[in-house]
Homo-oligomer: A and B are copies of this chain.
Amino acid sequence: MKQSKIGQRKTTQREAISAVIRQAEGPLTVEEISERASKLVASLGLATVYRTVKLLLESNEISIVSIPHSHDRYEASDLAHHHHFRCRNCRLVFDLPGCILPIPDGTSLPGGYKVEAHEVTLIGTCPECNGG
């Protein structure tokens, strides 16, 4: 299985977008990726961000994360299993280490639902915003 087949050519745009996602504090929206990557490439077009994100998704280098009240976000696929925290104040989304759900994937729930994966989002205020 090949990894990182994000297209045939290594371009500065793709390097920048990939780096921005990998170095983020949590999953980013396309808008956030564009803002941060534009600081590295300047002339970067939005269409390139969309195209590259799609490419990275198809090559499984990144994954989609859905957070309530926000557009789809993207994060590196090779991160250890974890969950997310969204700050109601600054709107940033952070990774939280580890899994806090007591139901392992593979469980069958009463009713016949077979669980294969899960997503947990905690919502509240982050340390910067609550002075904690």
Residues of A within 8 A of B (CB): 64-70, 85, 88, 94, 96, 100-103, 108-109, 111-127, 130, 132
Contact = CB atoms under 8 A, between A and B. Distances in A.
A116 B108 contact: no
Contacts of A68: 64-66, 119
A98 B74 CA distance: 29
Nearest to A94: B113
A126 B122 CA distance: 25
Nearest to A119: B121
A113 B118 contact: no
A32 B5 CA distance: 37
Contacts of A127: 111-113
B125 A96 contact: no
A4 to B, nearest CB: 23
B103 A103 contact: no
Contacts of A85: 109, 113, 115
A126 B102 contact: no
Contacts of A101: 100-101, 120
Given A66-B66, A69-B66, A96-B109, A124 B114 contact: yes
